[in-house]
Each structure stands twice: as structure tokens, then as C-alpha cells.
Structure 1
Amino acid sequence: MTETRWLDTVEMAAWHAFLFAYHRLEKRIEEQLKADAGLTHPQYEILVKLSSLPDHQMRMTELARGLVISKSALTYQIGQLEKAGLVRRTDCPGDDRGVLAVLTDEGMECLRRIAPAHVEVVRKYLIDRITRDELITLTRAMGKANQAMQATG
């Protein structure tokens, strides 16, 4: 049995700094999105992902994978977005079991309206607080963490 490698003082400080900053930033983002559009952060990310595609649509299974959420969580979020008229579901051509999530014109307009305030929050509390070199280091560090998690499923 391998002995546990506990976090030392520097490692614990880094972990807590990451954790607290993440939770606080997520709270600010949720507050802004709720106030401006009645959306959750996952719902906003769905709209962003769909808007980035040439035809503004994607298979639900691929969308869940791309957003790193479960299929059931995505189904729930898409249902909420459908009720708001921001997304619709349609059958996948050539695949009777496949379902596409499609961004509606209303969804695109909502995104155009709320994206500037979202970016303002991200800039105010993260991007504009650190140097360009720190951004590059942060990107590399989170990339390594993401790679490790992808490799292990």
C-alpha cells in the first residue's frame, strides 16, 4: 500500500487559492447570468458552444462530451433552454436515435445581449487581475491537469 503524499504548505496554499477563486468567480458569473437573462452558467456555455458552430447545432451526445457534463444533466439544461425558446431539439438526419440541439434565433440574440456583461465579469475578476505571463502559465497548468484527467477517463 502506497503512503499518502499529503500537501505541503505551498501545495495547500495553491489548492486553496484555486478552489476559493474558482468558487467565487463561479458565483459572480451565476449572479450576472441570472440577473441578465435568467440563465445558469451551464446553460450559457451550451449557447456559446452552439453559437460557435457554422450551423449552430450539435448532436446531444457530442455536446455533453464537449461541455464535460453528463447526458442527463445536458438533457435537463436543454429542456430549460427549450422552454425559454433559446434552443430546440430535432432528429438527427440519417440516425433515428440521434438528437440535435439547435440554437434558435432567440438564443443567438440572447447570447449577443448577455455576452458583453459575462466577459466583463470574467475580465474584472480574473483576466485583468493577472499578467499575460501568468495567463500563459495558468493555461499551461490547467492544460496539464485536463490532460491527466482525460487520460484516466
Structure 2
Amino acid sequence: MIKKIDNTDLEAAVNLANQVFHEFIAEGYSEEGRQTFTKYLDFKLEEMNEDLISGHKVLWGFYEEGRIVGVIGTRDELHISLMFVDKDYHHRGIARALFDTVLAELKSQHPGDPFVLTVNSSPYAVAVYHRFGFVDIAGEQENNGIRFVPMKLTVSDC
């Protein structure tokens, strides 16, 4: 089941993101990058509730037996800020289902209007975003130790 995450499930979503980051992504980052990401998540937990209420950020969770096993987040509506799936649930279509949910929501908010969805993908997830139709808009970059590839998806079939 997929549903929007509210403050009651926020900590579980942030914990999942942190767990998956350290299992799959952190090894390819410098110590600075690992610390930057951890601080980012700590900020999320403290400040996210206000952002969720204001609509500045939206999180969707994939729930299995009442537990969050996947999460996707957007900020400023048209930017994917995070997407993580528990390792025990990889290759089951959860990332695709979460992405399709976000895309359907955005299409309903922009009926008939084309829009561009962006993401700064970790190197680990670039292939996933390519399968979703995203294209690279620049090569790999690094900011505060965080490695990422800027990508975009132009959606015109609303």
C-alpha cells in the first residue's frame, strides 16, 4: 500500500533512508559526504513536519505489513529529494510504484500542462532513474562530499 507520510511515520521514513544510505551508498562517499547526508536527515527529522504541513515537501511511503519499506520525497513540487527502498524489498517494483504515484499526483496537479521533474541522483540510483525515463543534464558532481548526477524528466503527456 502506498500513502502520503505524515508526522506519525516520519521518523520511520527517515530511519529507512539512513539505513539504506549506509548499506548501499555511503561506501562511495567521502567522510564529509557521509556526515553531510546524516546531518541532512537529522534536519529532515527536526524540520520536516513543518515542511509537510506547508506542502514544501511531500513524502510517500510504501507499506508492507504496516511497515515502511520504501519512501520517495519531493520538494518544491517538481524535484525528487529522496528515494530509498529497504534491501529486502529491492527488485520488487517498489521504487517504480512510488515514482508512478508521484508522477500521477503531479500530472493531476498540472492537467494538460507539460512540466519538468528533476532529481540529483546518487551514482547508485542513476540506472533506476534512466529506467524511469530521466536523462542526465550534466556529469557527476560533488557538493559537500555528496556525489550526484543531475537529471530531468520532461513530462508532456498530461
Output the TM-score relative to the length of structure 2.
Answer: 0.28
If each structure's strand is expressed as a fraction of its own residues, which one has the higher value? 2
Q: TM-score, normalised by structure 1?
A: 0.28
More helix by share: 1
Larger radius of gyration, structure 1 or 2?
Answer: 1
Q: Tell me: higher relative CO, structure 1 or 2? Use CA pairs within 8 A at least 6 residues apart.
A: 2
